[in-house]
Structure 1
Amino acid sequence: MYRHRMIWAFVLAAVIPVASALQAADEQAAAPSAASPVVKGDFSGRVDIGGRSLYLECRGQGSPTVILEAGSMGRADVWSRDSLHPAGARTMVLPAVATFTRVCAYDRPGTLGEVNPKLDPQGPLFFPGRSDPVPQPRTARDKVADLHALLSAAHIPGPYVLVAHSAGGLLVRLYASTYPDEVAGMVLLDTTHENTWLRFHEALTPAQWAQFEALTVKNQELLDAYPEAEQWWTAPLEDDASTGQVRKARAGAPLRPMPLVVLAHGIPFDAPFPGWPTGKMEGIMSALQDDLGRLVPGARRGVAAKSGHNIHQDQPELVISAIRQVVDAVRDPGAWTAAAAPAK
């Protein structure tokens, strides 16, 4: 009997130690529609970005357009499929946002969809990504280029409100620094700070750091089952390419003033291995989330008290509220005040 295991440290990844799981997932995953250069109305399908295609889904109408950026390994449906409760028991982020503006999500190459065996005991172990695979690992800059090409090829109009979870926060921040005229607002959900690995490296013993780095950089068990799997981090982790790109962008092209909500987890991470200094590491992460709240003047900082790392699954209503606040502020800048904080 095979079980899912979560990789700690801002990495959403299921470990499936059987290659046969891929075939089962392929057979049960919904087949996307043919590639299309123009996205109108409710859409789900593949979009050619120049020699390869990315899976995209969009719903709703209105401006600004909300772009949902999942964390490491997360497919687009992490924003619409409830992994904790039966389907329809709760309103999830993407369908809720579609009631008040246009919203889109997509699969980065190598992502996957997790399956909760308690909710779907007959289902596959996971659903593979629906975008064309590419060589891995890839940096945040590579992923920004993909997103920009996708939005252009699909003719998705700006301005954009970028909503990101976990490592996706590095991507959207770099996107906003690279294309500042396109981004009007942002929501960061327990996102990875560019200095996370530096602070962890300082706080851990050499032995602890070696163990943590080995867990974070490369999961060979997952790659054996899913060779196309997305890989974010490069060794040595304290000199990771993506975090370095964001540090450079923050110094040279800081975010323009915009409505920004930063939400952090309230339930501590499980220890990745015995001896993990949970209190110290949670303190580091909290301080770094506070720093993200200082990226622009007037940002709103909140803690999702009933959530672990996956706030969009644990408390989707909180995420929906944060997105609505930013969308409303883009439509009416006078409505935004720093004093208003997201509800817990």
Structure 2
Amino acid sequence: MIKEMLVQISGCKLYAKLVGENNGKPTVVMDAGYGDYSKAWDSVIEDLSMLSNVLIYDRAGLGKSATSSNPRTSREMVKELKELLIEAKIKPPYILVGHSFGGVNLRMFATEYQNEVRGLVLVDSTPEDYRERFLPTMSRDFQQAYNKQFIYEGNYDEFMESLKQLKDTRHKLNIPLIVLSAGKKAHYSRESQELWNKMQREILEISSESKLVIAENSAHYIQNDEPEVVVSAVKKLIDDI
């Protein structure tokens, strides 16, 4: 089953696609990275749809979704996703899968709606202390390129505000968490790669039941480089319910 929809929420319409069979398992809800939209999951959507219903969507201003006048921070995006799920009648429980900045959003969603979430997969997700701890270790060229990328949805300040929101709302979750860390990041020195994996490992502390998987042959888009790593993480959460 494939169902495409434009869903009216407060202030804009969001594009969403529901794929798979409703087999009584939690719906897998996926959120792409900064500036990315639902197509970021093309490499895994078919395999995941064999496991359960899967919802992918475009955040406001991306892909086929309309723009929103709300701030482009994680707090607003969590509200919009919640509204989308209600309006589209996609009932909990959910398994959340967030890539990069999408992981920031879904960590906050899981914190706010913990009783609706059965598991969380973070795919090379942005740690809340990225700017303070990681960025200063990279070359000036890398830092300049990083700062210049914020033109697609939120600006640099809104992105950093999202990381602050993540830090402010952080608390222990009682849901299973699988953290996937890219083991072969582009333009990373050995020291940077080790620090990245260390910071990913520290994210495990937010859950009482967590596991780290390092995707040794993947750059930032683990779902493209080693799609089976993402699929098997979701399958594990579904099988363990």
Say yes or no: TM over 0.5. Answer: yes
Distance 1:255 1:161, change over 3 A: farther
* Paired residues of 1:64 and 1:101 also in contact (CA < 8 A): yes
Shift of 1:201: 5.0
Gaps of 5+ in 2: none
Q: 1:311-343 CA distances to partner (integer Å, 9 max, x unpaired)?
A: 00111111111100011122xxxxxxxxxxxxx
SS for the counterpart of 1:53 is strand
1:149 match: 83
* Helix, strand or coil at the partner of 2:17: strand
- Give the equivalent residue in structure 1 for 2:15: 55
The 3-state SS of whatever aligns with 2:15 is: strand
Structure 2 distance, partners of 1:313, 1:219, is 21
Matches within 5 A, 1:55-94: 55-60=15-20, 61-62=22-23, 63-80=25-42, 92-94=43-45
Distance of aligned partners of 1:204 and 1:268 in 2 relative to their CA distance in 1, 3 Å threshold: closer
The corresponding residue for 1:186 is: 120
Residues 1:323 and 2:234 are matched in the alignment: yes
Which of the pair is proportionally richer in helix? Answer: 2
How far does residue 135 in structure 1 lie from its aligned partner after superposition? 4.4
Give the greater-gyration-radius structure (CA).
1
1:216–1:233 CA contact under 8 A, matched in 2: no
On the 8 A contact 1:217/1:232 being kept in 2, the answer is: no
CA distance in 2, matches of 1:214, 1:134: 28
Distance 1:136 1:283, change over 3 A: farther
Equivalent position SS for 1:263? strand
Match of 1:280 in 2: 191
Distance 2:71 2:144 in 1: 15
Name the CA distance, whole Å, in 1 between partners of 2:137 and 2:11: 44
Could you tell me which residue of structure 1 aligns to residue 56 of structure 2?
Answer: 105
User: Is the CA contact 2:134–2:196 (under 8 Å) kept in the aligned structure 1?
Assistant: no
Q: Is the CA contact 1:73–1:110 (under 8 Å) kept in the aligned structure 2? A: no
- Classify 1:167/1:53 alpha carbon distance in 2 versus 1 (closer, same or farther; 3 Å): same
In the alignment, which residue of structure 2 is the partner of 1:246?
166
Q: CA deviation at 1:182?
A: 1.3
Residues 74-122 of structure 1 deviation map (CA, whole Å, 9 limit, x = unaligned): 1112212xxxxxxxxxxx31111111211100001233xxxxxxxxxxx
The answer to whether structure 1 residue 294 and structure 2 residue 205 are counterparts is yes
CA gap 1:289/1:216 in 2 versus in 1, 3 angstroms: same
Deviation at 1:65, TM superposition (A): 0.6
Letter in 2 for 1:56: A
Identity among equivalent pairs (%) = 31
Using a 3 Å threshold, how does the CA distance of structure 1 residues 297 and 219 change in structure 2: closer, same or farther?
A: closer
Q: What secondary structure, in the 3-state scheme, does the structure 2 residue paired with 1:215 have? A: helix
Aligned equivalents of 1:290, 1:51: Cα separation in 2: 38
Richer in strand (by share): 2
Contact 1:260 1:296 in 2 (8 A): yes
- Structure 1 unmatched ranges of 5 or more: 1-40, 81-91, 112-128, 224-228, 272-277, 331-344
Residue 265 of structure 1 corresponds to: 182
In structure 1, what is the Cα distance between the partners aligned to 2:53 and 2:87?
17
Distance 1:300 1:244, change over 3 A: same
Alpha-carbon deviation of 1:164?
0.8
Q: Is the 8 A contact 2:70 2:76 kept in 1?
A: no
Verify the 8 A CA contact 1:256 1:296 in the aligned structure 2: yes
Native 8 Å contact 2:58 2:64 kept in 1:
yes
The 3 A distance-change label for structure 1 pair 232 and 184 is: farther
Distance 1:157 1:258 in 2: 18
The number of equivalent residue pairs is: 239
In the alignment, the residues of structure 1 paired with residue 3 and residue 214 of structure 2 have an alpha-carbon distance, to the nearest angstrom, of 33
Instruction: Give 1:203 deviation, angstroms.
Output: 3.5
In 2, Cα distance between equivalents of 1:231 and 1:182 = 27
1:46 equivalenced with 2:46 (yes/no): no
Distance 1:203 1:107 in 2: 32
Match of 1:217 in 2: 147
Aligned alpha-carbon RMSD (Å) = 2.1
